[in-house]
Amino acid sequence: MICGNCHREIAEYSNFCYFCGARQHATPSGQPAAARRLTRSVVDRKIAGVCGGIAEYLEIDSTLVRLIWVLLVLMPVPLVPAFLGYFVAWLVMPLAPYPTPQVAPPAAAPHSTPAV
């Protein structure tokens, strides 16, 4: 990427020039990284998708998140905060969009030969 002020080459996705400090307003030529959002899962859910959504956000296995939550519930002191935290997360976290189904192209119909 080229700075619009000093015309020196800087790294892609830079907000400011390393050399002159000018703010970069031009959009980079490459595809920007998609921002991740903490959402409830629609594909990996048992109750409301909170643990599945947290696992997707942290990029870990959802079983591990569920196991940690169960361990928090089983401890004598944080019983109420664990349930309250899950309920608040259920209310606050938006539901993730449903994945688009991958439709396979239609198979060619078998050709029948006429009977002689």
* pLDDT digits 0-9 by tens, 90-104: 888 888 777 777 776
- pLDDT over 60 at 27, yes or no: no
More confident residue, 106 or 3: 3
pLDDT of residue 85: 82
Same domain for 63 and 11? no
Residue 79 belongs to what domain range?
36-97
Same domain for 50 and 11? no
Q: pTM for this structure?
A: 0.55
> Could you tell me the sign of the dihedral formed by the alpha carbons of 2, 21, 33, 12, in that order?
positive
Average pLDDT over residues 47-70: 87
Evaluate whether 39 touches 93 at the Cβ level (below 8 Å).
Answer: yes
Same domain for 25 and 60? no
